[in-house]
Protein backbone atom coordinates (compact mmCIF):
# COMPACT_ATOMS: atom_id res chain seq x y z
CA UNK A 1 0.00 0.00 0.00
CA UNK A 2 1.47 3.35 -1.07
CA UNK A 3 1.09 6.55 0.94
CA UNK A 4 0.33 9.87 -0.70
CA UNK A 5 2.46 12.93 0.05
CA UNK A 6 -0.24 14.39 2.32
CA UNK A 7 -0.40 11.18 4.33
CA UNK A 8 3.41 11.14 4.65
CA UNK A 9 3.40 14.78 5.82
CA UNK A 10 0.59 14.05 8.26
CA UNK A 11 2.46 11.09 9.70
CA UNK A 12 5.77 13.02 10.07
CA UNK A 13 4.24 16.29 11.31
CA UNK A 14 3.06 16.23 14.91
CA UNK A 15 -0.66 16.95 15.08
CA UNK A 16 -1.34 19.82 17.44
CA UNK A 17 -4.70 20.45 19.05
CA UNK A 18 -5.21 24.17 18.65
CA UNK A 19 -6.96 25.88 21.56
CA UNK A 20 -8.95 29.09 21.25
CA UNK A 21 -6.06 31.06 22.80
CA UNK A 22 -3.61 29.58 20.26
CA UNK A 23 -5.98 30.44 17.41
CA UNK A 24 -6.24 34.02 18.64
CA UNK A 25 -2.44 34.28 18.86
CA UNK A 26 -2.15 32.78 15.35
CA UNK A 27 -4.51 35.39 13.94
CA UNK A 28 -2.56 38.07 15.78
CA UNK A 29 0.67 36.72 14.25
CA UNK A 30 -0.95 36.71 10.80
CA UNK A 31 -1.60 40.45 11.03
CA UNK A 32 -0.07 42.09 7.96
CA UNK A 33 1.46 38.83 6.67
CA UNK A 34 -0.28 36.69 4.07
CA UNK A 35 1.18 33.19 3.75
CA UNK A 36 0.52 33.16 -0.01
CA UNK A 37 2.36 34.54 -3.00
CA UNK A 38 6.01 34.86 -3.84
CA UNK A 39 7.15 35.51 -0.26
CA UNK A 40 4.94 32.95 1.51
CA UNK A 41 7.83 31.05 3.09
CA UNK A 42 9.43 34.23 4.43
CA UNK A 43 6.09 35.31 5.84
CA UNK A 44 5.62 31.90 7.43
CA UNK A 45 8.98 32.24 9.17
CA UNK A 46 7.83 35.60 10.59
CA UNK A 47 4.47 34.14 11.61
CA UNK A 48 6.15 31.21 13.38
CA UNK A 49 8.49 33.59 15.20
CA UNK A 50 5.64 35.87 16.32
CA UNK A 51 3.61 32.88 17.47
CA UNK A 52 6.55 31.44 19.40
CA UNK A 53 7.05 34.73 21.23
CA UNK A 54 3.35 35.02 22.06
CA UNK A 55 2.94 31.43 23.28
CA UNK A 56 6.44 31.03 24.80
CA UNK A 57 6.96 27.77 22.92
CA UNK A 58 8.03 26.72 19.44
CA UNK A 59 5.44 25.53 16.95
CA UNK A 60 6.81 24.05 13.72
CA UNK A 61 5.96 25.88 10.51
CA UNK A 62 4.51 22.70 9.00
CA UNK A 63 2.01 22.49 11.87
CA UNK A 64 0.99 26.09 11.18
CA UNK A 65 0.63 25.32 7.45
CA UNK A 66 -1.51 22.29 8.28
CA UNK A 67 -3.79 24.31 10.58
CA UNK A 68 -4.15 27.10 8.01
CA UNK A 69 -5.10 24.50 5.36
CA UNK A 70 -7.97 23.36 7.58
CA UNK A 71 -9.27 26.94 7.84
CA UNK A 72 -8.52 28.25 4.33
CA UNK A 73 -8.15 26.92 0.80
CA UNK A 74 -4.51 27.99 0.40
CA UNK A 75 -4.26 26.57 -3.12
CA UNK A 76 -7.08 28.81 -4.32
CA UNK A 77 -5.60 31.81 -2.51
CA UNK A 78 -2.27 31.08 -4.21
CA UNK A 79 -3.93 31.09 -7.63
CA UNK A 80 -5.71 34.42 -7.17
CA UNK A 81 -2.67 36.14 -5.62
CA UNK A 82 -1.29 38.76 -8.00
CA UNK A 83 2.42 39.25 -8.41
CA UNK A 84 3.85 42.54 -7.11
CA UNK A 85 5.82 42.97 -10.34
CA UNK A 86 4.93 42.57 -14.03
CA UNK A 87 5.56 39.04 -15.20
CA UNK A 88 4.77 39.37 -18.89
CA UNK A 89 7.32 38.30 -21.46
CA UNK A 90 8.01 40.78 -24.22
CA UNK A 91 10.37 40.76 -27.16
CA UNK A 92 13.28 43.11 -26.62
CA UNK A 93 14.25 45.66 -29.21
CA UNK A 94 16.50 48.67 -29.01
CA UNK A 95 14.94 52.13 -29.35
CA UNK A 96 15.21 53.38 -32.92
CA UNK A 97 15.85 56.95 -31.87
CA UNK A 98 19.21 56.05 -30.33
CA UNK A 99 20.36 52.94 -32.19
CA UNK A 100 18.91 53.22 -35.72
CA UNK A 101 22.29 53.94 -37.33
CA UNK A 102 24.00 51.04 -35.57
CA UNK A 103 21.15 48.66 -36.42
CA UNK A 104 21.30 49.69 -40.09
CA UNK A 105 25.08 49.13 -40.17
CA UNK A 106 24.68 45.73 -38.56
CA UNK A 107 22.04 44.71 -41.10
CA UNK A 108 24.27 45.82 -43.97
CA UNK A 109 27.18 43.85 -42.55
CA UNK A 110 24.99 40.77 -42.20
CA UNK A 111 23.90 41.08 -45.83
CA UNK A 112 27.51 41.43 -46.96
CA UNK A 113 28.52 38.48 -44.84
CA UNK A 114 25.75 36.35 -46.34
CA UNK A 115 26.89 37.20 -49.87
CA UNK A 116 30.53 36.49 -49.04
CA UNK A 117 29.72 33.18 -47.38
CA UNK A 118 27.91 32.01 -50.51
CA UNK A 119 30.99 32.72 -52.64
CA UNK A 120 33.75 31.48 -50.31
CA UNK A 121 34.24 28.60 -47.96
CA UNK A 122 33.50 28.81 -44.24
CA UNK A 123 37.02 29.42 -42.97
CA UNK A 124 37.57 32.48 -45.11
CA UNK A 125 34.17 33.92 -44.28
CA UNK A 126 34.60 33.45 -40.54
CA UNK A 127 37.92 35.27 -40.55
CA UNK A 128 36.35 38.13 -42.50
CA UNK A 129 33.37 38.20 -40.18
CA UNK A 130 35.70 38.46 -37.23
CA UNK A 131 37.65 41.24 -38.89
CA UNK A 132 34.46 43.15 -39.79
CA UNK A 133 33.19 42.63 -36.26
CA UNK A 134 36.45 44.00 -34.90
CA UNK A 135 36.23 46.98 -37.26
CA UNK A 136 32.63 47.53 -36.21
CA UNK A 137 33.57 47.33 -32.52
CA UNK A 138 36.41 49.81 -33.07
CA UNK A 139 34.04 52.23 -34.81
CA UNK A 140 31.43 51.91 -32.07
CA UNK A 141 33.97 52.42 -29.27
CA UNK A 142 35.46 55.40 -31.11
CA UNK A 143 31.96 56.87 -31.51
CA UNK A 144 31.15 56.31 -27.85
CA UNK A 145 34.44 57.81 -26.73
CA UNK A 146 33.90 60.81 -28.98
CA UNK A 147 30.49 61.41 -27.37
CA UNK A 148 31.95 61.45 -23.85
CA UNK A 149 33.04 64.97 -22.90
CA UNK A 150 36.70 65.28 -21.95
CA UNK A 151 37.49 66.56 -18.47
CA UNK A 152 40.50 68.60 -17.69
CA UNK A 153 42.77 66.67 -15.37
CA UNK A 154 42.81 67.82 -11.77
CA UNK A 155 46.00 69.34 -10.44
CA UNK A 156 47.44 67.61 -7.45
CA UNK A 157 50.35 68.50 -5.27
CA UNK A 158 53.51 67.43 -7.02
CA UNK A 159 51.94 67.25 -10.47
CA UNK A 160 53.77 68.87 -13.31
CA UNK A 161 52.05 71.99 -14.51
CA UNK A 162 52.29 73.88 -17.79
CA UNK A 163 52.63 77.18 -15.94
CA UNK A 164 56.20 78.24 -15.38
CA UNK A 165 55.57 79.95 -12.05
CA UNK A 166 53.32 77.33 -10.49
CA UNK A 167 54.13 76.16 -6.96
CA UNK A 168 54.88 72.65 -8.18
CA UNK A 169 57.74 73.79 -10.44
CA UNK A 170 59.23 76.62 -8.41
CA UNK A 171 61.73 75.64 -5.73
CA UNK A 172 60.95 76.62 -2.14
CA UNK A 173 62.68 79.75 -0.80
CA UNK A 174 65.87 78.81 1.00
CA UNK A 175 66.69 81.95 2.96
CA UNK A 176 63.25 82.59 4.39
CA UNK A 177 62.40 81.74 7.99
CA UNK A 178 58.69 81.61 7.26
CA UNK A 179 56.96 78.29 7.43
CA UNK A 180 55.68 77.00 4.16
CA UNK A 181 52.04 75.95 4.02
CA UNK A 182 51.43 72.63 2.38
Q: SS3 for 89?
A: coil
The pTM for the full model equals: 0.42
Alpha carbon distance 77, 80 (integer Å) = 5
pLDDT digits (tens, 9 = 90+) for 107-134: 889 888 887 766 665 556 566 667 777 7
pLDDT digits (tens, 9 = 90+) for 55-102: 999 999 999 999 999 999 988 988 888 777 777 778 888 788 888 888
pLDDT digits (tens, 9 = 90+) for 95-106: 888 888 888 888
Alpha carbon distance 80, 75 (integer Å) = 9
| Torsion angle defined by CA atoms of residues 112, 113, 116 and 117, in that order, rounded to the nearest 10 degrees | -150
pLDDT at residue 70, as a whole number:
92
pLDDT at residue 48, as a whole number:
94
Q: Which residue has the higher pLDDT, 13 or 100?
A: 100
Amino acid sequence: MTMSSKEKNASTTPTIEWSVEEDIQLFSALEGLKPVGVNKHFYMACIAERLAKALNREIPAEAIWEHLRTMYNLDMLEEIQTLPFPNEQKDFCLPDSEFSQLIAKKKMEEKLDDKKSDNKDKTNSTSKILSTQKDFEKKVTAKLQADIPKRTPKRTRGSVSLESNSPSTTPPPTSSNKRRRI
